[in-house]
Amino acid sequence: MFRVIKPLQQMGAQIWHRAGGLAPLAIQGQRLKPIHYRSPIASAQVKSCILLAGLLTEGQTTITEPARSRDHSERMLKAFGAEIAVDLETCSATVTGGATLRGQTVIVPGDISSAAFWLVAGAIVPDSDLTILNVGVNPTRTGILEALTAMAADVTLENQREVAGEPVADLRVRHSALKACTIAGDLIPRLIDEIPILAVAAAFAEGTTTIRDAAELRVKESDRLAVMATQLSRMGASVTELPDGLEITGGQSLRGTEVDSYTDHRIAMSLAIAALKAQGTTTIHRAEAAAVSYPDFTATLQQICGL
């Protein structure tokens, strides 16, 4: 929680917490002051927190990140009437406090992080041809498409359009022979949530895929680097855990076995997609975690598989 506590305290908020910045938090309302916060990480969650708090100040609040993170909050706040300025060159966003926001009708496109599981499923299962409708393809979120393209996946964008200020498209994916690639640098903030499922794609790609600069995954719902390394290895994949990523050599035949989601929704769904190409039966313990972000995941998987 320190990532959020620190900038809010700089703005004048009074926040109490357990040792190590752990919840629960106690917050006493205060008049906030504008700041220019230079975040050590690219995090849309931290950025959104600061911009929302900046709405309540008298002045301009700016956050600068080391790389560009997803910009849904900036788009949404601007649509609601906030004064937002974005500098792509410096990866900065500035909000002017005191704006009067106006209610809007919002149409939410499909989440590309959820679509990512079907993109990889379609890429690795022979004879697949899937079209995922109405997916948000905001350029700050399409790192997964760039990574899959680098892996020679057959993914195309169809029916591209704009809905409520957000770019939307239908995504078509067909089976292809995947190739290894390197995923690192400025691409990471734009696909950080998709790395577990990209690790599955890498397990079926020719060559060695290297994922770096992703230490952020160690502080998600689980340590996603450690968990994906251990669980894919249990299935027979060749995975080396790095301090800030993974090294995965594809081409190994995966086998069905017992694996564990560690109550992490993205791990549960990634392992389910890996199981599609594993020989034998795979049992995923605590698979119900998938419902955290995708309540219909199991039903959709069964539909796609014709069950």
Q: What are phi and psi of 154, to 5 degrees?
A: -95, 85
- Write out the E strands in the chain: 14-18, 22-28, 36-38, 60-64, 83-87, 92-96, 129-136, 154-163, 166-174, 182-183, 208-211, 238-242, 245-249, 258-260, 283-285
**H or E element that contains 146:** helix 143-150
Q: In the chain, what are the domain boundaries?
A: 2-96, 112-304
Q: Model confidence over 116-168: pLDDT tens digits?
A: 999 999 999 999 999 999 999 999 999 999 999 999 999 999 999 988 678 99
Q: Model confidence over 229-271: pLDDT tens digits?
A: 999 999 999 999 999 999 999 988 999 999 999 999 999 999 9
Inform me whether the pLDDT recorded for 20 exceeds 90: no
Q: What CATH number was assigned to the domain covering residues 112-304? A: 3.65.10.10
The three-class DSSP label of residue 147 is helix
Q: Are strands 245-249 and 238-242 parallel, antiparallel or unpaired?
A: antiparallel
Residues 6+ apart with CB under 8 A from 234: 257, 258, 259
Inform me whether the pLDDT recorded for 61 exceeds 90: yes
What's the pLDDT at 79?
87
**pTM of the model as a whole:** 0.82
Inform me whether the pLDDT recorded for 290 exceeds 90: yes
Within this chain, domains 2-96 and 112-304 share the same CATH topology? yes
User: Catalytic one among 129, 154, 170, 193?
Assistant: 193
Q: Which CATH class is domain 2-96?
A: alpha beta
- Mark whether 193 is an active-site residue: yes
Residues 46-62 as b/e (b if ≥16 CB within 10 A, e otherwise) read: bbbbbbebbbebeeebb
Closest CA to 61 of 75, 45, 48: 48
